[in-house]
Every structure is written in C-alpha cells, then in structure tokens.
Structure 1
Amino acid sequence: MTEPDPATTVIDSSVPHPARRYDYWLGGKDNFAADRESADAIEAKFPGMRAGIRANRAVLRRMTEYLAAEAGVRQFLDIGTGLPTADNTHEVAQRSAPQARVLYVDNDPLVMSHARALLTSSREGATDYIEADLREPQAILDAARERQVLDLSQPVALMLIAVLHFIPPGNGQARAIVRTLIDALPAGSYLAATHFTLDFMPPEEQARYQQLLDAGISDIWPRDRAAFATLFDGLDLVDPGIELISRWRPEAQADTTDPSRISIWGAVARKP
C-alpha cells in the first residue's frame, strides 16, 4: 500500500475545510481555529446541527454494513473520506467481509497526513488513499486504475457521504460527477449517498440558511428531495428508498431527534 509523503503535504490552517469542520462537530481534535469559527458560526444559527453530523456518521456505518453483509459488495470507493474517526468505512466493511478492499479519496492534505490510520487493513483485504477532488471525477477514476487496489471491472460501492452538497446547484455539475463515476463501474455496483437539505426546516430557518450562503459563511449547498433523487437516475433504489438518514434502516431503538435538526437525505441504489 502507498503511504503519504509528509514532505509533500501542504496545509492552509487559515481557511476552513469541510473535513476538519466535520471533525470538530464530531468532537475530534484535528481542526484549526478557522474550522472551529466556521462551524460555530453555522451552529449558532442552527443549534443542534451536530445531531445531523452524528446521524450521518451512523448511517454511513449502516449503509456500509448493508453493502458488505447483505449485498455482498467487496470493493468500496469512498470519496470525501474526511479525517479518520470511529467506524471508518474499511473497518465496518472488513468486520463483515475481511477481504473487502477500500480506496479512500479526499482533497484535504491533513487527511493525507493521517492516512496511516486509514490504511490499517485486515490481512485479507486492502486499504489505500489518494488525494484528489470530487470535482475531477475522471482524475479519480484514472488514479484508482493506477493504484490497482480496486478492480473496476467488478462491482464497486461508490460512497458519496455528505460530500455532494459542497458542489453548488444550478449547473448540473453534481449529477454529471455522479454519472461519470457510475458509468465507469459495472452492473451490480452501488451508489450510497447522503445530502444536506432544507426540506425539513421551517420557512424562517430556510431563509436564515440562505443568508449564510449569501454571506459566504456556509459552503454546504442544500438540495431538495427531487434534486437529490436525480442523482440516482437509472439506478434501482434499495428499500426504503430516499429517506431522512435517521430513518434509513434504523436500528432497534428509533431516533426521536427532530428531523429539522438532522436535515439530511440518504439512499442506496444498485446499478442494474
């Protein structure tokens, strides 16, 4: 497995980054003042946002468990990895299938500097990491083929968990990115995605969030259910389809958190 080269890692701590802000919301320590200030500014206007972040982490685990244990997937392409924390994709997948192979992708050099934690793999499987940007899907595919951790002629689970909402709406870029990635994968592959939405928020909060976007305080662009659904065009949705993430195959104890505090759609679908 390829290990990161610390000498090539360049980290700009003055600019907030989604992976580090996410780490802060999860209670991690791998973040800087700019990340905390950005996160606090968002949470000040939307108290309880951490509930959504934690629910997103929980649904990643449930989706990965479904894909590895029930759907029989043995390869995972996880784009927008974020900083390592409990129950990373490879840990969950390899608990069910030790031979599972996982390729992580993120564009934050700090994630690269922590890649050794991500690269820990079962003996039977494999885990690797590449630094690349979701906005350049063909470059990700080229790097994946070069790495040879995944065999793209065999089914792959494409994991786009809380990352597509960093692509602004309006020009179809997010849908084009998903289509480029899915088209490169064979039948029997899966797409697992989650995405921030305003659909569950009252009108006054929707207006308040738009003010954050207009002021450049937030870089998380919401999509409604209909827009999120277009990302799955041509795929077969897995039960229960598109759902609030706390309601996607919930565990025995139901999550009673106010849906407006979670505000994230999620779904898994199979390429026929």
Structure 2
Amino acid sequence: MTDQGNNPVIDTSKPHSARMYDYYLGGKTHYEVDVQAAEAVIATVPFAGAMARANRDFMIRATRTLVEDYGIRQFLDIGSGIPTQPNLHQVAQGIAPESRVVYTDNDPIVLQYAQALLHSTPEGRTAYLQARLAPGSFLCLSHATTDVGDPELAALGRRVEEIYSRGGTTLRLRDSAEIARFFHGLELIDPGITMAHHWRPDAGTETELKDGEPSMFAGVARKP
C-alpha cells in the first residue's frame, strides 16, 4: 500500500468510525474511546454488530462471485476502512493470486493502518490510487438504511446518527430510493438490491440477524 503525505497523529481521545467498525467486527485495531462509542450504539441497536458482520460477509460473497463467475481480477475498494480479516485482496487472491486490489479512503488515519497491515501475494498487488469506474466494471455497494418499514427502528437509526455526531463523525442513513440512485445507469445482477444478508447467501449458513432485524441494503451491478 502506498502512502500519500505525512503520517497523521492518531487521536485516541475521540472515537473514530473506522475503529468502531473494527470493534463491531471483533477486530483489535481500536481504543477504549471507540469501544465506549460502539457500545453506546449497541445499547441502542443490539444487533449492530450482526449488521456489520453481515455487511462484511456480503463483501466476501460479492468478491468471490466476481472472481469466480465473471473473471474479475482488478478491484477498487472505496471507503475501505481499517483492514480486518479477511480483507478484500485476501478473498480475491485466495482464488486468483494474480488479482490486483486498490484500496481508497478519504481518511489518512485509515490509510496509515492500511499501509502497515495490507500485504499482497507475490503474483498480485495492493495499492492506493485515485481512479474512476470504467465501462465493463462492476460496482458492489452496501449502505445502512432508514427505510425499514418500522418507525421504531427508524427512530433508533436517528439516535445512532446522533451518537456518531457527538463523537465528531457524520453518519448518513439513506432510504431505499436514495440508495437505488447509486445504481442509476448500471445493470444490476441477481438478486438486485436487497439486504446484505439476503444477497446470495451461502447454502447452509444461517444469519445472526432475526426476522425484522435489517442489515444494510446491498447490490452488485455492471457498468455497460
């Protein structure tokens, strides 16, 4: 992973959304202040950790599908967050070692962690670059939503937004119409836009989420 600019000072006095996400996933790259903020979210939405893990599992399945079924060997991970096991390049290169993965994030702290933790196979490569989607490329997207058909859950979502805001991070939940706009002009592959844990689930694998507990809206689409 290449670095751009000087390494920033990591502020451990304020919670960081990427480190909170790492905590949800059971990782180790977080501090007590992140644990406190994440636990406040979990106290509000007890299945928040399961949501994060469902999102991570979607990334794994989507990457595997693109490598195995569509022959994709180059990936751009936008908003990659702090590396945690397994990383996208580990999934792709575990199937096709020559796969190349570009990680991007607008947070220099995340990139500092990534530089230390991401390592490619000899056949492939990981890097940090700026790029845009080219024809024939695939877009895999997942996003937290307020459009759950349950006013109580929607209210909890707004409370979670407030928790992140108090820690200095903007969390933006979107409804299904707003999420669909990200796929405008693209060709969705089956099953279209659905909850992350419903996107091509592995046979025999049960989700942690109970009926009525959402994960995130997710979809995979091809640019014509």
TM-score, normalisation: structure 2 = 0.88
Q: Partners of 1:88 and 1:231 in 2: how far apart?
A: 24
Segment drifting more, 9-18 vs 200-209: 200-209
Q: Aligned pairs, how many?
A: 219
SS in 1 for 2:213: helix
Q: Partners of 1:201 and 1:22 in 2: how far apart?
A: 25
Aligned to 1:112: 112
Q: Aligned match of 1:194 in 124, 136, 142?
A: 142
Alpha carbons 1:49, 1:261 under 8 Å: kept? no
Aligned to 2:189: 238
Any residues of structure 2 matched to 1:1-272 within 5 Å, and which? 2=2, 8-106=7-105, 107-118=107-118, 120-129=119-128, 140-141=130-131, 184-200=132-148, 202-214=150-162, 216-217=165-166, 219-256=170-207, 257-258=209-210, 260-272=212-224
Aligned partner letter, 2:87: N
What residue ranges of structure 2 are gaps of 5+ in the alignment? none
Shift of 1:110: 4.9
SS in 2 for 1:14: coil
Aligned partner letter, 1:238: I
Alpha carbons 1:17, 1:108 under 8 Å: kept? no
Shift in alpha-carbon separation, 1:195–1:239, aligned structure 2, 3 A: same
Q: Partners of 1:58 and 1:69 in 2: how far apart?
A: 16
What residue ranges of structure 1 are gaps of 5+ in the alignment? 131-139, 142-183
Q: Partners of 2:161 and 2:73 in 1: how far apart?
A: 39
For CA contacts below 8 A with separation 6 or more, give which structure has more relative contact order: 2
4+ residue segments displaced more than 4 Å: none
Give deviations 1:95-129, integer Å, cap 9, x for gaps. 222111111112142541342321x1122111123
Shift of 1:202: 2.5
Q: Partners of 1:108 and 1:41 in 2: how far apart?
A: 25
Alpha carbons 1:236, 1:270 under 8 Å: kept? yes
Shift of 1:65: 0.5
Shift in alpha-carbon separation, 1:55–1:211, aligned structure 2, 3 A: closer
Aligned partner letter, 1:202: D
SS in 1 for 2:76: strand
Q: Partners of 1:212 and 1:246 in 2: how far apart?
A: 21
Aligned to 1:157: none
Q: Partners of 2:71 and 2:95 in 1: how far apart?
A: 9
